[in-house]
Amino acid sequence: MTDAWTTAGGTIAGATIATAATATSSNATPPLLSVESLSTLIHTPDGRALRILRDVDLTIEAGECLGVVGESGSGKSFLARTVLGVHGRTDRVETTGRVRLDGEDLLSAPPRRRAAVLGTGIAMVHQDPMTSLNPVVRVGEQIVEAVTNRQRLPRGQRRALAARLLQSVDVPDPERRARAWPHELSGGLRQRAGIAAALAGEPRLLLADEPTTALDVTVQRTVLDLLDRHRVERGLGVLLITHDIGLLSGRARRIAVMYAGRIVETGRTEDVTAAPVHPYTAALLRSVPRVTGPLIRTLPTIAGSPPDPASNAPGCPFASRCDRAEALCSAEAPPLVRVSDSHTAACHRPLIPAEESCS
């Protein structure tokens, strides 16, 4: 390895492209999910064009959990919705790139084929269990939707299926809960119901969009453990979106850090958290509250706010908030380059001093 800073732009971030051998073997069995240079442009009613995602590359293998982390507005949720292919009714979204599920590109697939994947190929767990269940439809009826949208089931079978699904997510007294209205359940139970609804169609990929943000810390852990269990048992691929990078340790094998619609750093969770390369990742890690150390102290925050998605300013989007920025940073966007075999970052002034520097 004479030059560690090989450009990885345009290929699958995180995937090994080091040797020809590994490249061919990954071609033989395509990853469960492979997102390739995914970009989206939203056309707003007032005529502006917002770039929400810019050249996003990522892969998820079956049974693997990829953590996507970033602050509010970095495009994490939008990434999930784009992978799913379901946007707001009124959004005019222009999407380019590839979203491959088991090798099949969904973006270029006909609408009917894409609809067939919803709930059965890819399923989603939403952030707020208080708003993601229809208040006037019984919990059980909603949980079984992924199945009943495709085939008619008599009421007795629907109830039995709902109860079985609720039981699989550790909801006590599942028969009664299936007949309950959403408002009769606690937040934790509702999120379990949301997970049960996502699992109903036996999907291969689960997009979990901040599934525990709205929950008590005590409940958070059990819900995440539940997701882990199903990931392992079913070989489910999980895209776990969170703004809390600390939550990913021990749960996600790899991390992708998003900023302003770009992936700015990816790598194995332990590598990224132990030795972040991008100053933004480092800042995110500093802002995680610690149990050790002085009891009262100021939690470090990142000054400033992410750039306006309507702006087309050149350079690194983090430059204005970065204490390491230099002239080049606001002139030219840094490409995503490799730090090591499985670690990439997009930064002109990376935190690891590059021994074999990139002059």
Q: Is 194 in the site for another protein (CB under 8 A)?
A: yes
The binder of another protein chosen from 31, 67, 201, 279 (CB under 8 A): 201
Contact by Cβ (8 Å): 230, 25:
no
Among 136, 295, 296, 303, binds another protein (CB under 8 A): 136
Least CB distance from residue 37 to another protein, whole Å?
24
Which of the stretches 13-21, 102-110, 140-148, 236-244 binds another protein when contact is defined by CB under 8 A?
140-148
Please report whether residue 133 would count as binding another protein according to CB under 8 A: yes
Tokens of 62: 């079956």
Q: Does 149 bind another protein (CB under 8 A)?
A: yes
SS (H, E, C) the chain: CCCCCCECCCCCCCCCCCCHHHHHHHHHCCCCEEEEEEEEEEECCCCCEEEEEEEEEEEECCCCEEEEECCCCCCHHHHHHHHHCCCCCCCEEEEEEEEEECCEECCCCCHHHHHHHECCCEEEECCCCCCCCCCCCCHHHHHCHHHHCCCCCCHHHHHHHHHHHHHHCCCCCHHHHHHCCHHHCCHHHHHHHHHHHHHCCCCCEEEEECCCCCCCHHHHHHHHHHHHHHHHHHCCEEEEEECCHHHHCCCCCEEEEEECCEEEEEEEHHHHHHCCCCHHHHHHHHCCCCCCCCCCCCCCCCCCCCCCCCCCCCCCCCHHHCCCCCHHHHCCCCCCEEEECCEEECCCCCCCCCCCCCC
Instruction: Select from 24-32, 88-96, 170-178, 214-222 the region that touches another protein (CB under 8 A).
Output: 88-96
104 near another protein, rule: CB under 8 A: no
Count of residues engaged in binding another protein, rule: CB under 8 A? 36
From 89, 152, 155, 297, residue interacting with another protein (rule: CB under 8 A): 89
Residue 132 binds another protein (CB under 8 A): yes
- Identified binder of another protein from the candidate list 29, 49, 116, 290, rule CB under 8 A: 116
Q: Which of 90, 292, 301, 357 binds another protein (CB under 8 A)?
A: 90
Per CB under 8 A, the list member of 86, 282, 333, 352 interacting with another protein is 86
Q: Indicate the residue among 126 and 192 with the shorter CB distance to another protein.
A: 126
Q: Is 34 in the site for another protein (CB under 8 A)?
A: no
Using the rule CB under 8 A, is 313 a contact of another protein?
Answer: no
Q: How far is the CB of 242 from another protein (least distance, A)?
A: 18
Q: According to the binding rule CB under 8 A, does residue 124 interact with another protein?
A: yes
Residues whose CB falls within 8 Å of the CB of residue 3, separated by 6 or more in sequence, listed in order: 356, 358
Q: How far is the CB of 169 from another protein (least distance, A)?
A: 16
146 lines the binding site for another protein (CB under 8 A): yes
Binding residue (CB under 8 A) for another protein from 79, 200, 260, 263: 200
For another protein, the closer of residues 23 and 118 by Cβ is 118
Smallest gap from residue 346 Cβ to another protein (A): 30
Burial of 327 (0-12, 13-18, 19+ CB in 10 A): exposed
| Residues found near another protein in the complex (CB under 8 A) | 45, 84, 86, 88-90, 115-120, 123-124, 126, 128, 131-137, 142, 145-146, 149-150, 181, 183-184, 194, 197-198, 200-201
